[in-house]
Copies of this chain bind each other. A is one copy, B any other.
Amino acid sequence: MGITERKKRHKEELHASILAAAWQLVVEDGWQALSIRKIADAIEYSVPVIYDHFENKEAILLELTKQGFRKLNHDLLEAIELAADPESQIEGMAYAYWRFAFNNKAYYQVMYGLGIPSCETVNQISELSTFSGLILQPIRELISKGQHPDTDPFLKLHTYWSMLHGLISINMMGAQQDKEELNQMVLKDFIRGFISGLKA
């Protein structure tokens, strides 16, 4: 009897349509503004139906996160296949990752739980310029003494800050195992590279 199959198919369609509606809402207004009632409205079903398909709101966002990683993995694989040697594979993947993030901002922000303070908010933080100034000072000094005094110090500040922030935020969400000294090594490695980059 194909009736149960039709029902099963319908159920799967519903499941998919919930995710589709959720995704559209996330793209439109960001994952912070996603709500169960908005999804219910979009799929033209009542609220509790959604809970027949997902345990809670977090489960929906988790599914979107997984979708994001699947797409990212797809892009990375493509980059790998396009490159001949491991070196250009690593290079290509970095660009692919970068492109993925900016072509799929909504995905990226869900995947990493990024709240993203808005531009207006950032500009209200006057302390940020003090922060930049503190770091820029020794960078400028080192650049002026180095081989390439025309290096852009802002670019270097950007690199420095990004590396630190990346290291920390990946760590904070990570499995947090006994990686204390491992991280110290990465950090040390990075600083050495950064400084030698300023000089040479």
Identify which of residues 84-106 in chain A touch chain B, using a CB-to-CB cut-off of 8 Å: 86-87, 89-91, 93-95, 97-98, 101-102, 105
Q: Which residues of B contact A135 (CB under 8 A)?
A: 76, 90, 93
> DSSP majority for the A interface?
helix
- List, sorted by A's number, 15 A–B pairs whose CB atoms are closer than 8 Å: A66-B125, A69-B130, A73-B130, A80-B138, A94-B190, A98-B168, A98-B187, A102-B168, A108-B168, A116-B172, A122-B173, A155-B182, A161-B170, A166-B169, A189-B197
A162–B164 Cα gap in the complex (Å)?
8
Cα distance, A150 to B91, chains bound together (Å)? 22
Q: Please name all residues of chain B whose beta carbon is closer than 8 Å to the beta carbon of A69 when the two chains form the complex.
A: 125, 127-128, 130-131
Please name all residues of chain B whose beta carbon is closer than 8 Å to the beta carbon of A167 when the two chains form the complex. 98, 159, 162, 166
Give chain B residues whose Cβ lies under 8 Å from the Cβ of A185: 155
Say whether A2 faces chain B, with CB atoms less than 8 Å apart.
no
List residues of chain A with CB under 8 Å of any chain B CB: 58, 62, 65-66, 69-70, 72-73, 76-77, 80, 86-87, 89-91, 93-95, 97-98, 101-102, 105, 108-109, 112-117, 119, 121-128, 130-131, 134-135, 137-139, 141-142, 145, 152, 154-155, 158-176, 182-183, 185-187, 189-191, 193-195, 197-198
CA–CA, A121 and B134, complex, Å: 37
Complex alpha-carbon distance, A183 and B66, angstroms: 27
This protein's copies in its complex: 2
A113 cross-chain contacts in B, Cβ below 8 A: 114-117
Partner of A73, one of B121, B127, B164: B127
Interface residue from B77, B95, B166, B175 paired with A166 (Cβ < 8 Å): B166
* Nearest CB in chain B to that of A164: its residue: B97
**Which of A126, A173, A198 has the most CB atoms of chain B within a 10 A radius of its CB?**
A173
